[in-house]
Each structure stands twice: as structure tokens, then as C-alpha cells.
Amino acid sequence: MFSTGLTEIHHRPAGGDLTLITFGNAATLADGRSFWASGVADALDLDCIGFMPCLPHWYPEADMAACVAQIAQHLAGRRVVLYGDSMGAYAAIRHARLFRPAAIIAVAPQRSIDPADVPDDTRFHHFFRPHLHAGMAIAAAHRVAVAPLVIHDPLDRADFGQLQGLQAVMPVVPIPLFHTGHQAVHMLSDRKVFARLLTLALAQDPGGIAGLLRQAKKPHRFYLNGLGAAALTAGHRGWADAILGRARAAGTSMADILWLRAHAHRRAGRWAAAEADARASLALPDANPARRADLWELLYVQLRSRGRAADAAALCHKAMAEFAQGSAERTRLAEFLAADQSCGQG
């Protein structure tokens, strides 16, 4: 439909007076053809406008204004629901004033990625660019008539910290979805679940949404992943093995099972077990570079904690060789070397 060079806009036309507006997250970049959440839009035959980032840019304000100018005429007189996950959830809240929405569904949003705003949440600091993101933090001035419905896992410390930052500046309606982590959005992917979610969101019924999603998550592998990892962290190994076995049957790869186990052991201080599972996961084929970088980071920290600086540096250089120059994973690992004088520069 339109592209600014930073963001593509896609339109799936349909009847009725409702338009769903979706915002792609950092893992679903523009390809000129598809848009995030198009599956549910197709399944439910929804009029839908999808914003797709050409890079993980957290939807800069000037770019969004240019995008909205292209769709304002279509939206006139229509009910609008904004829907996003992570970076996309940030956009749904931050830019809501441009749309006058009837509902905002925000899954695991950030208030900001600026290190000055969120020093403790380092997950996205490497995406921060001052020329794009100056003044990006969601503030009281960004509130609209409806409070965002924020679906989140209270046990995910980083996401919960971002939620608390939002609550400090505007009314929000938290909808907890325990043991889903930053993957909570996957609980919403079923056609029937999403149709009911839309109805409840437009009715501003958070209790109904919470009940709907509690039921929807039970067979889902991402929920089983989180529940099994929590059981292992608490030392309930029999339960953990049974739950993670169900997750494996539901589609979680063995590499990801071992990644979950490694972090569960790390949280419990069982470093030898964490290292063994991390190395076992890295030995398996895995198409997820972020997971692999995360495991290399775990091993790096483990070696540094033992005073084995030279071994840690060698491991970090080996890990960096896996990833393309300029990739987020290589940059992340290089930052460990750059921050540690004894390891030299990456």
C-alpha cells in the first residue's frame, strides 16, 4: 500500500466498520508482501492495516506521522483496535493518539529502549539510535480515552519492569499471563481465541480476557516451556521433566528444551548443570541465532566468574565467528569483550 523507507503499510480490505491495526515486532521485518498477524485477519476476514518495520526501529514519531497521513481517509468513521507485541505493543501505546482507538491490545510492551530511561532492561539497548529515538519514552501526554490492555507475564522481570514504568505515567489495565515470558503473544494466535479477544477488548472486559487466555495457554508449548522451566528452577525435577516432555511433544525443539534447562539451572545457582545443558544445546543444529548467542553469553559469564578471563575471551571470539558481521548477535557478544579490559577489543 505504502512505504516510507522505514515502514511498510499493508491493507487487507473487508466489510464492516471495524479496522484492526497491527504493528510488527522486531523479529518480523517488512518483506514487501506480508504483515504481522495477517493470519488471524485472514481467518476472521477482518479489515486490517498492518505496519511493518524495515528494521527494528521502534516506530519513530515522524515516520509514523507520515504513515498515518496515508490511511487517515480510510479510518474516518471506523472503529479501530490497535494490536502489537513487544516493539509493536510500544507503538500501539505510544502512537495511539494518531488513531483514536476503541481498544488497545498491547502484549509485553516496552515503555522505552533508551538506556537512560530503562538502564536495567538491557535487552534492546543495542537497537537504540539517538537520531531515531530521542524522547521516545511513553509519557502521560500519550494517554488516550481507553486504557491499554497490557498482556504480560509478571514473572518476566524485564517485561514487568517496563509495565511498572507505564503504570507510573498513564492508566493501563494489566492482564497477567503467568509462565509465558516474552512469548505471551503466541497464546493469542488461535482464530477463535482472537475473535473472542476482540469482542472482550471492545467491551473493555479485562476479567473476561484473563479467563479466556488462562484457558488458551494450557496446551501451548510456550506456556509449557515456562512452567517446566519454573519447576526445574524450584528443584522439582520430576515435574519439570514431565512438563518439558509435553512441551517437546507440542513442538519445542530439543535445542530450546536444553536452553530452558540451562537458564533454569542458572537461576537456581546450579552452574555445572547450566553449563552442561548450554553446551549440549549448542551442539545441536538450531536455526535461532538469538538463542545461540544467549547460550554463548551464559558460558562466557560462567568462565569469567571462575576467573578464567583468557578462556572466556577465547570462547567469545569463537562464538562471534558464528554470526554475520553487523548482526545483533555478534554485536551483543562484542560488547562483552569491549566492556572487559582484560579481554581486549572485539
Q: Which tens digit of pLDDT belongs to each residue from 117-162? A: 999 998 899 899 999 999 999 999 999 999 999 999 999 999 999 9
Q: Which tens digit of pLDDT belongs to each residue from 166-178? A: 999 999 999 999 9
Share of the chain above pLDDT 90, in %: 80
Q: Which tens digit of pLDDT belongs to each residue from 179-223? A: 999 999 999 999 999 999 999 999 999 999 999 999 999 999 999
Confidence of residue 312 (pLDDT cuts 50, 70, 90): confident
Q: What is the pLDDT of residue 144?
A: 97
Q: Where are the domains of the chain?
A: 2-217, 254-343
Q: Distance of CA 245 to CAs 174, 180, 227, 234, 287, Å?
A: 31, 17, 12, 17, 21
Share of the chain above pLDDT 70, in %: 97
Of 19, 111, 102, 98, the C-alpha closest to 66 is 98
Is 3.40.50.1820 the CATH classification of the domain at 2-217?
yes
Which stretches within the chain are classed as H helix?
Answer: 38-44, 61-75, 87-94, 130-133, 157-167, 191-202, 206-217, 221-233, 237-250, 254-267, 271-282, 289-305, 309-320, 328-339
pTM for the complete prediction?
0.88
Contact assessment for residue 48 and residue 14, using Cβ atoms and an 8 Å cutoff = yes
Q: Which tens digit of pLDDT belongs to each residue from 82-104? A: 999 999 999 999 999 999 999 99
Mean pLDDT of the chain: 93
